[in-house]
Amino acid sequence: MIVSDKMKSVLVHYNQGLTLYKSRKFAEAKEEFKKALAIHPGDGPSKLYIERCDDYIADPPPDDWDGVYNMKTK
């Protein structure tokens, strides 16, 4: 499978965002996901992680957080 340069750029920002997210740097992660969306507005995973970052910025996870997101609604 050949990946376009555009998608490579999206992946760079998405992966950087994911690394920051896992390091509990939610504001910085959100910015990386927003950069991915600026390149590819239909990127569902980046949209999802922006929402999760917003949740964790407003209400940070506990100190022993293992990276698992607990859904609040079904």
Domain boundaries, the chain: 17-58
Q: Are 39 and 12 in contact (CB under 8 A)?
A: no
Cα–Cα distance for residue pair 53/33, rounded to 1 Å: 10
pLDDT band, residue 73 (cuts 50/70/90) = low
| 8: phi then psi, degrees, rounded to nearest 5 | -60, -40
Question: Tell me, what's the pLDDT at 74?
Answer: 60
The Cβ of residue 62 has, within 10 Å, a number of other Cβ atoms equal to 6
| pLDDT single digits (tens) 13-51 | 999 999 999 999 999 999 999 999 999 999 999 999 999
The single-letter DSSP state of residue 72 is S
**Residue 21: half-sphere exposure toward Cβ, Cα within 13 Å:** 25
Q: What is the pTM of this model?
A: 0.90
